[in-house]
Amino acid sequence: MTHTRTSPATSAPTPTTPPAAPTPAASSVPARAVRGPAPYLVPALLAVGLTMYGPLLAVTALSLFDFNLTTQTPRWVGADNYREVFASPETGTALRNTVAYMATILPLSVLAPGLAAIAVWRFGGRLTGFYRTVFFLPVLIPPAVGAVMWQWIFNPVLGIADAPLELLGLGPVSWLTQPVSAFVAVTIVAGWKVFGLSFILFTAGLTAIDANVMAAARLDRAGEWQLLRHIVVPLLRPVTTVVVFATVVFVGPWTFGVIDVLTQGGPAGATSNVYYLLYQLGFGYVDGGPASALSVLITVGFGAVVAAQMRLSGRRAGR
């Protein structure tokens, strides 16, 4: 029996083909790339335009017409409404009172709460939380409720505002019926409301001061006055700028509710301001033309004040 020997195949090894390079996956970004954040800002810009600039343009157009808010058909008068507003003595009185409110409320919204915040920060101890609550409490009281409470305090018969004056022999004061005392009363009530908000802002600024800076200054034998003058006050400058800015811009709205409850702008316009005069023209006399013209002038005037303050703040920050 013959066995046939088969030799193993001596074929050359088959060369292996290297794996193909992976083709990049198709990009999921659409062909039209997103053009920055502009498309996402459109809804917000439309909302701002409809709720802010739309009414402003409408009021500007209405200021060129003479119309009554009840029955009168609008009649084109051009700039006559502006001339009427400028010529009115009530406008001059309200403008002077507005500036006077700024000057008298600034110490109550900047100096007094700043000093109170520093005192509580340095010497409050365990009662710090209690003091902060007490000082901030007026902010939580609705303006109308607070004004009614102060109306009782200034009552010449039942009120307690005259008690300290009687101890000094100055006698009772008719707070809300005399021009000077009525203006002082409105300033006190508005300042009382603003004090708490400014106090909290200054408190937040003080808590942001690095304790290591204070400790290093004390190691250099700096006294309390030097710490206050050279460290605390400079570091509180941004907060002070914000408080001054808010006081100048919002002093009219802050005093409006107080005026409406306590004095209604009297006696003889001694406590009115431009915002309350606007309210009287629009809803008291229902004279839409001058009211619209005055609202445009208020917007332009306070816009100029805001621009000046921002420019001044920018110059100080650049130094």
Please count the other Cβ atoms lying within 10 Å of the Cβ belonging to residue 113. 24
User: What's the DSSP call for residue 137?
Assistant: H
Is pLDDT at 164 greater than 70 in this prediction? yes
Model confidence at 190, in pLDDT bands (50, 70, 90)?
Answer: very high
Q: What is the rounded distance in angstroms from the CA atom of residue 243 to the CA atom of residue 35?
A: 39
| 231 vs 26, more confident | 231
Is pLDDT at 10 greater than 50 in this prediction? no
Question: What is the pLDDT at residue 11?
Answer: 47
| 256 vs 171, more confident | 256
Residue that is written with structure tokens 């029955």 in the block = 71
Q: How far is CA 56 from CA 117, 155, 293, in A?
A: 39, 41, 11
Q: What is the rounded distance in angstroms from the CA atom of residue 99 to the CA atom of residue 79?
A: 26
Q: Give percent of the chain with pLDDT exceeding 90.
A: 33
Report whether 293 contacts 82 (CB < 8 A): yes
Q: Across all residues in the chain, what is the average pLDDT?
A: 83
Model confidence at 30, in pLDDT bands (50, 70, 90)?
Answer: low
Report whether 261 contacts 271 (CB < 8 A): no
Question: What is the pLDDT at residue 8?
Answer: 46
CB neighbour list of residue 204: distance below 8 Å, 6 or more residues apart: 239
Is pLDDT at 313 greater than 80 in this prediction? no
pLDDT in tens, 265-312: 988 889 999 999 999 998 888 888 999 999 999 999 888 888 887 887
Planar angle of CA 44, 47, 52, nearest 5 degrees = 120
Is pLDDT at 6 greater than 60 in this prediction? no
Amino acid at 11: S
How many helices (H) and strands (E) would you count in the chain? Answer: 15, 2
Query: How large is the average pLDDT for residues 236-262?
Result: 89
Question: What is the pLDDT at residue 1?
Answer: 46
pTM of this structure: 0.79
- For residue 74, give both structure tokens: 């609008």
pLDDT in tens, 99-132: 999 999 999 999 999 999 999 988 888 888 898 8
For the chain, domains (ranges, CATH) are 83-318 (1.10.3720.10)
Is pLDDT at 38 greater than 90 in this prediction? no
Question: What is the pLDDT at residue 18?
Answer: 54
Letter string b/e over residues 43-81, b meaning 16 or more CB atoms within 10 A of that residue's CB: eeeeeeeeeeeeeeeebeebbbbbbeeeeeeeeebeebb
Q: What is the rounded distance in angstroms from the CA atom of residue 287 to the CA atom of residue 277?
A: 12
Q: What is the rounded distance in angstroms from the CA atom of residue 112 to the CA atom of residue 161?
A: 20
Q: What is the rounded distance in angstroms from the CA atom of residue 219 to the CA atom of residue 49?
A: 56
| 9 vs 184, more confident | 184
First and final C-alpha spacing in the chain: 113
| 56 vs 4, more confident | 56
- For residue 95, give both structure tokens: 């403008």
- Give the CA radius of gyration of the chain: 34
Residue that is written with structure tokens 């109306």 in the block = 151
Question: What is the pLDDT at residue 93?
Answer: 93
Question: What is the pLDDT at residue 230?
Answer: 85
pLDDT in tens, 68-99: 877 678 889 889 999 999 999 999 999 999 99
Q: What is the rounded distance in angstroms from the CA atom of residue 242 to the CA atom of residue 51?
A: 25
Query: How large is the average pLDDT for residues 192-205?
Result: 91
